[in-house]
């Protein structure tokens, strides 16, 4: 879908595959040609000034129309997602709800408008030696962006998912690179976006959707000179490749890649003593949720070695041993998981505690000493596997936290007896992760104003932003200020009368009032 038109495509084709039965799904999807990708970028650029200038109410109407149309597809969409990904219908329906909720959250956010961080400094012409000018700043959309769909969120982080919704809300046209794992889903949602755009009077090019086989189409998209930012959710290899491409452009652009996180869980001694059974149960549920195919799946658990740790590990093992085998999203993911899982199990320093049915899920155990020495044990294993690391003492726990790479989340289970250690541990974890969870589990990401779903590299390419929640809009923006601009030429957000009733910083004071 190049603007309002359907592309002819190249002779390179792909099809959806049902991961449950391996069946090849109709129809065939044709990869976009170079000319089509170029045209999608060009159309986005030509739509940009017009789209960015639309009132937030109009953009909000477009986002809500997308949500309505996604919902309007009803069971047909759910069936296609299930066929292409193996995800059960209940999960797909939940994800659809989240997707439409996100679209409406961003619609509300831009209608309210205070996200634009308006700052006004009024002139002081009498100031000596130099008069103070009138300076007014706000966030503006950075330009057309490219969004790469996530394999594990065929709705919520794909064609009309979080990155698309936040970018469209900010005022950025979007070119989406469809995911090969769910082409039919992508087409259905893409059509819904195009129809919503036409229905609400958006300019052509505000949205395009390209299919690629291999990496060529995506690479061309990132290199397109008019693209100003990239959103990506996927593997570390894929994300770092896009980072390198974007940095090598004549005009480098930011890449927001969510890549790799093992989401460490620290079970401190007091918590282990009081709740080892409950924690094993909760952790098991979090590890196997969606066949472990969440970016927030807990992959590493640090516990104090001892009798309770042994009980905890045994219980986790018995739960895992009874875990049914579930079809993973696609064959590549299943094979990658099998490879990494076997590699883990075959290491001399690692003990296999238990395996799930058909050898899918797995619990492994090692010592903190072995973990610290072996970088392979720090890597994400995408799927239902968890490695328990036995720590010798409190210093060992802190040292383990300090040895972690950047993470999306870090979790602590602690009780009153752990209060000293938890105070030492929290600042270390807050420096390593975007979200720090107390006595809970990392799966399940609340979509809200305060969510930070991001974290230092390699969790993401740019740990300064979030991909979930309303604050995600910031990544598609830049600040601009206007100096001594006559009232009639100022955007509504910056006008004295504050017609949009925004919260603004006026001469250092936070206020919603019009300016005197």
Q: Which helix (H) or strand (E) holds 367?
A: strand 362-367
Residues 110 to 129: which contact a copy of itself by CB under 8 A? 114, 119-121
Q: Single out the residue of 33, 142, 263, 330 in contact with a copy of itself (rule: CB under 8 A).
A: 142
Check if the beta carbon of residue 142 is closer than 8 Å to that of residue 112: no
Candidates 26, 125, 348, 486: give the one binding a copy of itself (CB under 8 A).
486
Token duo for residue 235: 């593997």
Q: Phi, psi (5° rounding) for residue 304?
A: -75, 125
Shortest reach from residue 249's CB to a copy of itself, in Å: 9
Minimal distance, residue 505 CB to a copy of itself, in Å? 6
Footprint (CB under 8 A) of a copy of itself, residues 246-265: 247, 251-252, 254
Our finding on whether 431 is near a copy of itself (CB under 8 A) is: yes
Give the contacts of 406 (CB within 8 A, at least 6 positions apart): 261, 432, 433, 455, 456, 457, 458, 459, 460, 463
Q: Considering beta carbons, is residue 37 or 468 the nearer one to a copy of itself?
A: 468
Beta bridge partner(s), residue 136: 120, 482
The label of the residue with tokens 């308006």 reads: 118
Nearer to a copy of itself, 211 or 256 (CB): 256
Burial of 77 (0-12, 13-18, 19+ CB in 10 A): buried
- In the list 11, 24, 126, 510, the residue contacting a copy of itself (rule: CB under 8 A) is 510
**The one among 76, 395, 480, 513 contacting a copy of itself by CB under 8 A:** 480
C-alpha 145/C-alpha 158 separation (Å) is 14
Near a copy of itself in 44-103, by CB under 8 A: 48-49, 52-53
Q: Which stretch binds a copy of itself (CB under 8 A): 211-219, 239-247, 283-291, 303-311?
A: 239-247
Q: Closest distance between a copy of itself and the C-beta of residue 183, in Å?
A: 30
In the range 404-423, which residues lie near a copy of itself by CB under 8 A?
406, 422-423
Q: Which residues are catalytic?
A: 258, 295
143 binds a copy of itself (CB under 8 A): yes
Give how far Cα 483 sits from Cα of 100, 134, 297, 373, 496, Å: 39, 6, 48, 56, 14
Single residue of 322, 450, 492, 513 touching a copy of itself by CB under 8 A? 450
- Return the number of the residue (69 or 435) whose C-beta is nearest a copy of itself: 435
Candidate ranges 65-73, 145-153, 311-319, 456-464; the one touching a copy of itself (CB under 8 A): 456-464
Angle at the Cα of 414 from the Cα atoms of 424 and 379, rounded to 5 degrees: 75
- Does 466 sit near a copy of itself (CB under 8 A)? yes
Stretch touching a copy of itself by CB under 8 A, among 21-29, 185-193, 365-373, 475-483: 475-483
Determine the size of the site formed for a copy of itself (CB under 8 A): 73
244 secondary structure, DSSP code: H
- Which secondary-structure segment (H or E) carries 141? strand 135-141
Binding flags for a copy of itself, 265-304, as an x/- string (CB under 8 A): ----------------------------------------
Applying CB under 8 A, among 107, 140, 209, 334 the residue interacting with a copy of itself is 140
Q: How many C-beta atoms lie closer than 10 Å to residue 8's C-beta?
A: 11
Work out whether 133 is an interface residue with a copy of itself (CB under 8 A): yes
Beta strands 504-506 and 477-483: pairing type? unpaired
Q: Which of residues 336-395 bind a copy of itself (CB under 8 A)?
A: none
The single residue among 449, 492, 499, 513 that binds a copy of itself, judged by CB under 8 A, is 449
In this structure, are residues 296 and 440 in contact, taking their beta carbons and an 8 Å threshold? no
Q: Are 514 and 497 in contact (CB under 8 A)?
A: yes
Residue 508 binding a copy of itself, by CB under 8 A: yes
> Minimum Å distance from CB 282 to a copy of itself?
13
Judged by beta carbon, residue 54 or residue 196, the one nearer a copy of itself is 54
Nearer to a copy of itself, 57 or 478 (CB): 478
| Strand, coil or helix: 388 | strand
- The 175-204 site mask, x for binding a copy of itself (CB under 8 A), equals ------------------------------
Among 456, 467, 493, 498, binds a copy of itself (CB under 8 A): 456
Q: Is 452 a binder of a copy of itself (CB under 8 A)? A: yes
Give residues with Cβ within 8 angstroms of 11, minimum separation 6: 30
Contact pick of 438, 497, 513, 514 for a copy of itself (by CB under 8 A): 438
Closest to a copy of itself by CB, 278 or 430: 430
Looking at the Cβ atoms of 83 and 227, the one nearer to a copy of itself is: 227
CA angle 310, 320, 432 (to 5 degrees): 70
d(C-alpha 243, C-alpha 461), whole Å:
7
CA angle 388, 318, 399 (to 5 degrees): 10
DSSP calls for 422-489: HHHHHHHHHHHEEEEEESS-S-----STT-----TTTTBS-TTS-SSSGGGGGGGEEEEEEES--GGG
Residues 11-50 that bind a copy of itself (CB under 8 A): 48-49
Nearer to a copy of itself by Cβ, of 20 and 244: the residue is 244
Q: Does 137 bind a copy of itself (CB under 8 A)?
A: yes
Helices 34-53 and 216-223: angle between axes, nearest 10 degrees: 40
Only segment of 33-41, 186-194, 377-385, 473-481 that touches a copy of itself (CB under 8 A): 473-481
Using the structure block, give the residue that is written with the tokens 């009874």.
Answer: 322
């Amino acid at each position: 879908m190049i603007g309002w038109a359907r592309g002819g495509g190249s002779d390179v084709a792909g099809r959806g595959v049902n991961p449950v039965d391996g069946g090849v799904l109709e129809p065939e999807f044709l990869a976009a040609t170079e000319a089509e990708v170029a045209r999608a970028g060009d159309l986005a650029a030509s739509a940009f000034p017009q789209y960015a200038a639309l009132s937030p109410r109009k953009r909000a109407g477009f986002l809500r129309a997308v949500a309505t149309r996604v919902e309007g597809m009803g069971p047909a969409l759910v069936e296609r997602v299930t066929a292409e990904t193996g995800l059960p219908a209940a999960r797909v329906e939940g994800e659809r709800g989240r997707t439409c909720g996100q679209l409406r959250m961003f619609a509300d956010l831009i209608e309210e408008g205070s996200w634009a961080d308006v700052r006004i400094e009024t002139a002081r012409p009498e100031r000596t030696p130099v008069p103070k000018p009138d300076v007014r700043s706000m966030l503006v959309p950075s330009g057309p962006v490219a969004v790469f769909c996530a394999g594990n969120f065929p709705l919520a982080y794909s064609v009309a998912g979080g990155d698309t919704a936040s970018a469209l809300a900010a005022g950025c046209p979007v070119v989406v690179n469809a995911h090969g794992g769910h082409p039919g889903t992508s087409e259905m949602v893409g059509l819904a976006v195009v129809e919503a755009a036409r229905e609400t009077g958006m300019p052509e090019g505000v949205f395009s959707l390209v299919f690629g086989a291999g990496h060529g189409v995506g690479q061309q998209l990132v290199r397109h000179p008019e693209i100003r930012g990239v959103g990506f959710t996927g593997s570390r290899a894929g994300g770092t490749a896009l980072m390198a491409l974007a940095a090598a452009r004549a005009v480098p652009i930011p890449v927001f890649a969510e890549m790799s996180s093992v989401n460490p869980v620290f079970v401190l001694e007091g918590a282990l003593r009081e709740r080892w059974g409950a924690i094993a149960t909760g952790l098991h549920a979090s590890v196997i949720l969606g066949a472990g195919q969440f970016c927030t799946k807990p992959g590493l658990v640090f516990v104090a070695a001892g009798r309770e740790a042994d009980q905890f590990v045994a219980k986790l093992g018995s739960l895992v041993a009874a875990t049914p085998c579930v079809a993973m999203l696609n064959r590549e993911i299943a094979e990658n998981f099998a490879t990494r899982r076997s590699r883990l199990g075959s290491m001399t320093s690692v003990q296999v505690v238990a395996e799930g049915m058909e050898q899918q899920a797995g619990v492994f155990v090692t010592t903190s000493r072995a973990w610290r020495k072996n970088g392979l044990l720090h890597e994400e294993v995408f799927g239902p596997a968890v490695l328990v690391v036995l720590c010798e003492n409190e210093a060992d726990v802190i040292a383990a936290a300090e040895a972690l790479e950047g993470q999306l989340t870090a979790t602590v289970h602690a009780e009153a007896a752990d209060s000293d250690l938890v105070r030492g541990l929290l600042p270390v974890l807050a420096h390593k992760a975007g979200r720090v969870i107390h006595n809970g589990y990392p799966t399940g990401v609340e979509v809200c104003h305060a969510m930070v779903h991001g974290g230092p590299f390699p969790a993401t390419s740019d740990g300064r932003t979030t991909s979930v929640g309303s604050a995600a809009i910031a990544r598609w923006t830049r600040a601009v200020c206007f100096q001594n601009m006559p009232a009639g030429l100022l955007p509504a957000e910056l006008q004295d009368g504050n017609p949009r009733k925004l919260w603004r910083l006026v001469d250092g004071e936070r206020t919603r009032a019009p300016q005197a």
